[in-house]
A = this chain, B = another copy of it.
Amino acid sequence: MKIGLLGCGTVGSALVSLLDQEGERLAYLLGEPLELGRILVRDPEKERSWPIPASLLTTQLSDVIDDAEIGLVVELLGPGEFALAAIRAALRAEKSVVTANKEILSTHFPELELAAEAANRDIFFEAAVAGGIPLIRALRVSLFGERLSRIVGIVNGTTNYILTKMQEEHLSLEVALGEAQQLGYAEADPSGDLSGRDAASKLAIIASIAFGSHVDVEDVKVDGIWGVTPSDVDFAARSGGVIKLLAQAERDADIPDAPIRVEVFPAIVMSTHPLASVRGSFNAVFVEGSAVGQLMFSGPGAGGLPTASAVLADVIDAVKNLRNSTRAPMRVTEGTHFVDDSTVEAVFALSMEVVDAPGVLAQVSEVFGQHGVSIARMEQDELGAELAHLVFLTHRTRLSAMKATIAGLAGLDVIARLHQILRVLE
């Protein structure tokens, strides 16, 4: 049984290097070799980080799909319709599929899982979420019997690298982003990371598996880190925390078929919380279950070899299942519905620049009061140029009330700038 590989970029080349270097050992452990059949590439002439025999390369998808010796297809093509069509074709041809394609899974998971079930083949995607961390298999297998109530994590290494730099070196977002781009931690167009969209894709996949539901990336309420300023970072530090971009999925585990809440948002994570110590481009995911309690998984969120390691784990599992003519079961529950914002409650921090004049604080505070938002702590400092900087930390309150407050504040002439709202994770 051979493996067909679609795409041979960073992760693909790393996978080929692993199969080459570890081939003998893996063949011994598995009792059969893991052999590459064909590799689909756009440009066979391109130089790669690992030497690949030219005879394996093809530019035709059909060379992979129609090859009867190929029982398993690894899809590493990146976003786009072609990758989706390739996965569909592989499953139709009764090949198991291993993919790292978060964009496709976060919108087409139900369809692809059904297609895999119909073909009696696996679709595995450990590498689509949190790089090398074996999270998906833990959720699918080890925690299969758990009623999960909450998954909250740092699943975007780029923003975590930027936020860590801002915090530890007192940099602005722009400077930290520039450094991340120079080091290859951020892409030339960082909008997918900074907007929270990348984290939302991963969260949709995590929530789908954790809750056995159909969560689409469009179901996720997303707020990115575009608006996080050094003064927010300082305020977080004075409050005993650090700013992190969190992806969170919640469901009341005690109510069957309870609505789901899926959100990506910047938060002040208090230093006593294990997620606070996750630095740089690392990822970490915190899981709460009815019986097991709280678990945390952390590790490299990206990178060629760690991601290829997750792909390889899927390949080994899929090969084992093919040999046994079986497939991995999915946890699928009833319909999926979502909590609307109005019921979300949390502690929030909101900072703003205001005109430094008598009566302004009273005017601002009144807006919080009008919407029933109670203030736990307030800080004021001078900014120069007749401006003052105000930070409000609320008591636990509804997100809807906070949004109404922000709308009210936006209407005040005395406010020069409203910063991004931050949630507090204790």
A residues whose Cβ falls under 8 Å from a Cβ of B: 14, 18, 22, 25-26, 29-31, 126, 132-134, 137-138, 141-147, 212, 256, 274, 277, 289, 291-300, 303, 305-306, 308-310, 312-313, 316-317, 320, 324-326, 329, 331-332
Q: Which residues of B contact A277 (CB under 8 A)?
A: 274, 277
**Which residue in chain B gives the minimum CB-CB distance to A274?**
B277
In the complex, the answer to whether B126 meets A309 with C-beta atoms within 8 Å is no
In the complex, the answer to whether B313 meets A141 with C-beta atoms within 8 Å is yes
In the complex, the answer to whether B293 meets A306 with C-beta atoms within 8 Å is yes
5 closest pairs, A vs B, by CB? A134-B142, A295-B299, A291-B309, A292-B309, A132-B292
Query: How many Å lie between the Cα of A316 and that of B30 in the bound state?
Result: 23
In the complex, the answer to whether B134 meets A138 with C-beta atoms within 8 Å is yes
Q: Which residues of B contact A291 (CB under 8 A)?
A: 14, 18, 132, 305-306, 308-309, 312
Q: Tell me which of A292, A312, A313, A326 has the highest count of chain B C-beta atoms within 10 A of its own C-beta.
A: A292
Q: Which residues of B contact A133 (CB under 8 A)?
A: 295
**Which residue in chain B gives the minimum CB-CB distance to A334?**
B28
Give A160 Cβ to nearest chain B Cβ, in Å. 14
Q: Which residues of B contact A145 (CB under 8 A)?
A: 18, 22, 26, 29, 309, 312-313, 316
In the complex, the answer to whether A126 meets B142 with C-beta atoms within 8 Å is yes
**Which residue in chain B gives the minimum CB-CB distance to A30?**
B329
Q: Which residues of B contact A132 (CB under 8 A)?
A: 291-293, 295
**Which residue in chain B gives the minimum CB-CB distance to A22?**
B145
Give A167 Cβ to nearest chain B Cβ, in Å. 14
> A293-B303, A295-B133, A296-B298 are contacts. A146–B331 as well, Cβ < 8 Å?
no
In the complex, the answer to whether A289 meets B309 with C-beta atoms within 8 Å is yes
In the complex, the answer to whether B292 meets A295 with C-beta atoms within 8 Å is no
Give A32 Cβ to nearest chain B Cβ, in Å. 11
Task: For A143, give its contact among B143, B313, B325 (CB under 8 Å).
Answer: B313
Q: Which residues of B contact A294 (CB under 8 A)?
A: 299-300
In addition to A134-B295, A291-B312, A296-B296, 14 A-B residue pairs with Cβ atoms within 8 Å of each other are: A25-B147, A29-B329, A29-B331, A126-B142, A134-B138, A134-B141, A141-B317, A142-B310, A143-B313, A277-B277, A292-B309, A293-B306, A295-B298, A324-B325
Query: How many Å lie between the Cα of A305 and that of B141 in the bound state?
Result: 18
**Which residue in chain B gives the minimum CB-CB distance to A126?**
B142
In the complex, the answer to whether B295 meets A297 with C-beta atoms within 8 Å is yes
Q: Which residues of B contact A256 (CB under 8 A)?
A: 25
Give A391 Cβ to nearest chain B Cβ, in Å. 27
Query: How many Å lie between the Cα of A359 and that of B298 in the bound state?
Result: 51
Query: How many Å lie between the Cα of A326 and that of B320 in the bound state?
Result: 10
Query: How many Å lie between the Cα of A185 and that of B112 in the bound state?
Result: 47
Query: How many Å lie between the Cα of A141 and that of B135 in the bound state?
Result: 12
Q: Which residues of B contact A325 (CB under 8 A)?
A: 324
Q: Which residues of B contact A25 (CB under 8 A)?
A: 147, 256
* A and B contact pairs by CB, cutoff 8 A, 24 listed: A26-B145, A29-B144, A29-B145, A132-B291, A133-B295, A134-B143, A137-B138, A137-B141, A137-B142, A138-B138, A138-B142, A141-B313, A142-B313, A145-B313, A145-B316, A291-B312, A292-B300, A292-B305, A293-B300, A295-B297, A296-B297, A296-B299, A320-B329, A324-B326
